[in-house]
Amino acid sequence: MMLKKARMDKAIDKVFFALGTINYIKIFDFAKEDAIEKAIDRVTEIDNRMSAFKTESDLSKLSRNSGERFQNIHKDTFQLIRKAVEFSDLSNGAFDITIRPLVELWGINKKGSFVPSEIEIQEALRLVDYQDIQLDSESLSAALKNQGQALDLGGIAKGYAADEVKRILVENGIQSAMVNLGGNVITIGSRPDGQPWQVGIQNPIAPTGNYLGVLSITDKTVVTSGSNERFFIKDGIHYHHILDPRTGKPVQNSLLSVTAVCTCSTDADALTTALFILGPEKSMPLLQKFRAEAIFVTDDLTVTVTNGLIRHFKI
Ligand code: ADP
Ligand code: MG
């Protein structure tokens, strides 16, 4: 008992803002505080390269040159874009990082309760097609085929950053850690007392911190995407930040949240966005392909847990 306490006391944690969200890193080794700083620097670097807002980011450069020329981008950005494109293929276009013009148009949580006209939606939708992303791996450059096209890595970059944080902490000898980058949880090892990590699954219709259940996991990532994070309701319709590239509108189905559990946070992040759009039935091949498990929560608070997770999930 004493030993357990002494080990728990070695916890050291940091909260920081990056990637447009609040992030949290907790490790269990006082001597390794440096590792947290290195991880935070890396997240900041990823944010600077992959932000859709920062004017000197790779994404901003790409959109400024859209329809005109190839642009050299950093290897990290290049590889993540390539991964996102693979994901688009695998999800039949449900996940599509050329979604940016639609994200701008809707401006969920930025323009109040603004619903664009059908004409505006169709205009933006014409610019959404991941097959217009051109990649040249020789020169590490990319281009967007048509003027006005732009990328948005908001559905995958937090996962990538979480994988990078884990890599850096592990390289620095950390054996036990809990990381949460704006809802992308990744863990290292087990808790210092040897028990699995406990990750609460948020009740989507209750205040933050109210859980529908708890997942016990070791060395896994848990990523949740919800339609109650950024949204507004107008004329009884719930408009939120996950957009369906087929309709140009926020996905309309009975899902309130989707959680993906696997080993790679980049995969889990892209998966949650895709699963949200595809719904539970059509998601199964994707889950199998990525050896991932999932939890689906619908608006009547029905919780569907895939087989591999049942043992690890407690209501
Ligand atoms: P969160 O940002 O809450 O973690 P997601 O991982 O699902 O949720 O990412 C949602 C973000 O991804 C949106 O804010 C937007 O920037 C972008 N996005 C929205 N719809 C799509 C889509 N169909 N494909 C790819 N990215 C999307
Ligand atoms: Mg996502």
Per the structure block, which two tokens stand in for 212?
Answer: 């529908």
Which pLDDT value is given to residue 9? 55
Task: Give the start-to-end residue ranges of the domains of the chain.
Answer: 65-144
Instruction: Report pLDDT digits (tens) over 69-108.
Output: 999 999 999 999 999 999 999 999 999 999 999 999 998 8
**CB within 8 Å of 156: residues ≥ 6 apart:** 80, 83, 84, 87, 95, 97, 266, 269, 270, 273
Instruction: Report pLDDT digits (tens) over 142-181.
Output: 999 999 999 999 999 999 999 999 999 999 999 999 999 9
Determine the Cα–Cα distance for residues 223 and 186; give it in Å rounded to an integer: 8
Superfamily of domain 65-144: ApbE-like superfamily (1.10.3980.10)
For ligand 1, say whether the CB of 248 is within 6 Å of any of its atoms: no
Cα 286 from chain centre: 16
**Are the beta carbons of 188 and 230 closer than 8 angstroms?**
no
Which pLDDT value is given to residue 110? 86
**Which of 90, 129, 273 is the pocket-test mutation for ligand 1 (most atoms within 8 Å of CB)?**
273
For ligand 1, say whether the CB of 229 is within 6 Å of any of its atoms: yes
For ligand 1, say whether the CB of 164 is within 6 Å of any of its atoms: no
Give distance in angstroms: CA of 59 to centre of ligand 2: 18
pTM: 0.94
Among the bound ligands, the one closest to the CA of 255: 1
Q: Output the average pLDDT for the chain.
A: 93
| Among the listed residues 265, 75, 267, 261, the one whose alpha carbon sits nearest the alpha carbon of residue 162 | 265
| Among the listed residues 198, 164, 193, the one whose alpha carbon sits nearest the alpha carbon of residue 35 | 164
Share of the chain above pLDDT 90, in %: 81
Tell whether the model's pLDDT for residue 8 goes beyond 70.
Answer: no
- Identify the residue whose tokens are 């895939």: 306
Determine the Cα–Cα distance for residues 58 and 74; give it in Å rounded to an integer: 7
Residue whose CA lies nearest to ligand 1 atom number 5: 155
Long-range contacts from 232-238, C-beta under 8 angstroms, 24+ separation? 232/108, 232/109, 232/112, 232/113, 233/113, 234/113, 234/115
| Among the listed residues 132, 114, 136, 116, the one whose alpha carbon sits nearest the alpha carbon of residue 124 | 116
Long-range contacts from 302-308, C-beta under 8 angstroms, 24+ separation? 303/212, 303/213, 304/280
Give distance in angstroms: CA of 152 to centre of ligand 2: 11
For ligand 1, say whether the CB of 152 is within 6 Å of any of its atoms: yes
Tell whether the model's pLDDT for residue 2 goes beyond 60.
Answer: no
